[in-house]
Amino acid sequence: MSIEVVGLTKRFGTFVAITDVSLRVETGELVALLGPSGSGKTTLLRVIAGLEIPDAGSILFDGQNSTDRRIADRRVGFVFQHYALFRHMSVFENIAFGLRVRPRDRRPTRADIEQRVHRLLDLVQLEAMADRFPSQLSGGQRQRVALARALAVEPQVLLLDEPFGALDAKVRKELRRWLRRLHDDLHVTSIFVTHDQEEALEAADRVVVMNQGRVEQVGTPSEVYARPATPFVYDFLGDVNLFRGRIERGKAYIGPLEFDAPGHADREARIATLYIRPHQLEIDRVGNGEQQFRARVARVNPAGPFVKVDLVAEWGDPVRVELSQERYLALALEAGTEVFVRPKDMSIFIA
Amino acid sequence: MMAGTDRRTESRVVRWTLTAVALAFLLCFLFVPLAVVFMQAFAEGVRAYWMALVEPMSLAALRLTALAALVAVPANTLFGLAAAWAIARFDFPGRGLLITLIDLPFAISPVVSGLVFVLMFGAQGLLGPWLIAHDIKIVFAVPGILLATMFVTVPFVARELIPVMQEQGSEEEQAALALGASGWQMFRRVTLPNIRWALLYGVVLLNARAIGEFGAVSMVSGHIRGQTNTAALHVEILYNEYNFAAAFAVASVLALMALATLAAKSIVGRRITQ
């Protein structure tokens, strides 16, 4: 089922949680709502679910206006951040709940319910836990029960609020890959909320970056990462170095350096901020005279797949660079080393 | 909890002294009076005890007390559930006022509560002439007793439920609705099981107070024997008539009910903490 949100606004008292948000999610997509806390992503999810009533705008499921439909009639599966499992029911009963509360004429038979719950338990790899209570499960297991419970009613749309937020780093990585595989098997239109850019970029088909109640950018993970539409998106999706500079007639200047800035062919000079990711900077021990600035190594952290080098630029600002391990060994960097830095790529936003 | 550990924050002497003082206090002010009630009740023999209880006026008093409890307990259980639900789940204008008002019967003397009903519904009261004109008796009649009992027992259930419901939050209820449950299914299958022990605890306390209430009921009763006399009031009348054995016999029934309540309360209380 496709979801379309048009001009949605939601206020809580004087606080405006989301402002004029429009968005389209295609059938079978897995979309991430990404943003810092307070960006309105959870509110947007809850409005789509029917857990909050919007102050303005409408929600369309498969082109049908569903703004005034009750949550029970929307056929959405909702997975809460803290799982919200029924604490007095076993895992089995939790998953069976949505089937048991159906009106008699649409309720499956006992045997049918049993069969479906066991199929779901198998799907989330919790067959052995059917008789346990939520308090006897680990966080990751609870999350999978919550997912199975939501899937039991065969929802047209699956909505997940920070599904891995309360788990430790290793488990959340495993679970998000598992969720991606599950989605590839089931193809239920899904939206999940996260503040973790890595999670969004890895699991989602498309990423919706939100900030202060508005959508900043919508795109595939590679689009939003490689071509951020706004400074906020640039900053939020990974480390970035900011350089104060100016642009003039298609050229960008940082201090004494000059770069081509196609697409900024304005005549007059304007102050601009240049965004350069750590891996877009190249370090050399000797200068080659073009488009390089001088810097001194302040600190080196070689742990991990890339070596992170903190520099102090010749004008005094801190700059971070990421290098491959091989390059790092070849350069033989250590604190105090004088180096030359060359930007390979950048994005320019006029201040 | 401390007993099993090796932590020693006070010296042995201090601990023993404090324990002894507490136990001595309990002995003097709780166990001895309780024992006296039963000793006095049986002072003239088992037969006299039994006759005092089955005497028509005593039976009528016990019946009225049971009636008051039968009315006040369901009424205030329902009110407590509704109020706790509203306060714990929703933010609405007047919410703070409602929380304060629920505690009102705890804050004012029961005698004053009773007096309010007399001033409202009595012959010289606000609604008195209208009630007389329509031949409706509230004060010095059974309705007054029921009203007074209901008033003083308002806080019990709500007080127990509000913190429990606030702590549990509403996410499980939202999950139930998202899974297609109706409002009633959500209440019966999710809300009620989660609050059942706190609810039962509140009901037990509410029942105890409904049975034992004296002050407010005394104001509106008029002490008409066989008609508006509750068990607690009957004890006083018998005592004032120097009919000690009968007074203590009726009192012993109230004491037994209190003991049963305490037993129920401790069992339920243990389930809550589990």
The pLDDT tens digits of the residues spanning B169-204 come to 889 999 999 998 988 999 999 999 999 888 988 998
Mean pLDDT of A175-182: 88
Determine which of A196-210, A241-255, B193-207 has the lowest per-residue pLDDT on average. A241-255
Mean pLDDT of A93-122: 93
CA A73 to centroid of chain Cα atoms: 28
| Tokens read off for A337 | 């080393």
Please tell me which of the candidates B172, B179, B193 has its beta carbon nearest to residue A153. Answer: B179
Phi/psi of residue A193, nearest 5 degrees: -100, 135
Are the beta carbons of A298 and A312 closer than 8 angstroms?
yes
A298 touches chain B (CB under 8 A): no
Q: Which residue has the higher pLDDT, A260 or B189?
A: B189
CB contact under 8 A, B172 and A82: no
Please tell me which of the candidates A70, A84, A150 has its beta carbon nearest to residue B172. Answer: A84
Q: For residue A351, what pLDDT band results from cuts at 50, 70 and 90?
A: low
ipTM of the complex: 0.81
Residue of B nearest to A149 (CA): B179
CB contact under 8 A, A101 and B181: yes
Which pLDDT value is given to residue B7?
A: 60
Helical H runs in chain B? 12-26, 32-41, 45-54, 56-89, 95-102, 104-107, 110-121, 128-133, 142-152, 155-168, 171-178, 183-186, 192-212, 215-221, 231-240, 244-273
Q: For residue A115, what pLDDT band results from cuts at 50, 70 and 90?
A: very high
Calpha distance A37→A53 (Å, rounded): 21
DSSP single-letter state for residue A71: G
Mean pLDDT of A222-238: 89
In this model, does residue B78 exceed pLDDT 90? yes
A107 touches chain B (CB under 8 A): no
Determine which of A11-15, A155-159, A267-271, B147-151 has the lowest per-residue pLDDT on average. A267-271
Distance (Å) from the C-alpha of residue B177 to the closest C-alpha of chain A? 6
Are the beta carbons of A19 and A210 closer than 8 angstroms?
no
Are the beta carbons of B215 and B114 closer than 8 angstroms?
yes
Q: Reading across the β-sheet that carries A64-65, which strands appear in turn?
A: A15-25, A3-12, A56-61, A64-65
Distance (Å) from the C-alpha of residue B204 to the closest C-alpha of chain A? 23
Which residues in chain B are closer than 8 Å to A145, comparing Cβ atoms?
none
Tokens 């939100």 belong to A210
Distance (Å) from the C-alpha of residue B196 to the closest C-alpha of chain A? 11
Calpha distance B61→B52 (Å, rounded): 12
Which pLDDT value is given to residue A131?
A: 94
Q: Which residue has the higher pLDDT, B224 or B100?
A: B100
Which residues in chain B are closer than 8 Å to A76, comparing Cβ atoms?
178
Which residues in chain B are closer than 8 Å to A88, comparing Cβ atoms?
193-194
Mean pLDDT of A76-100: 93
Q: Which residue has the higher pLDDT, B10 or B93?
A: B93
Which residues in chain B are closer than 8 Å to A77, comparing Cβ atoms?
178
Please tell me which of the candidates B171, B176, B181 has its beta carbon nearest to residue A82. Answer: B171
The 3-state secondary structure of A274-339, one letter per residue: EEECHHHEEEECCCCCCCCEEEEEEEEECCCCEEEEEEEECCCCEEEEEEEHHHHHHHCCCCCCEE
Distances (CA, A) of B61 to B58, B213, B217: 5, 13, 12
Interface test with B, best of A95, A101, A113, A147 (most B CBs within 10 A): A101
Total residue count of chain A as it appears in this document: 351
Residues in a beta bridge with A270: A247
A341 touches chain B (CB under 8 A): no
Residue A227: which residues within 8 A CB-CB, separation 6 or more?
Answer: A219, A347
A98 touches chain B (CB under 8 A): yes
Residue of B nearest to A52 (CA): B174
Per the prediction, chain B carries an average pLDDT of 86
In this model, does residue A216 exceed pLDDT 90? yes
CB contact under 8 A, A72 and B189: no
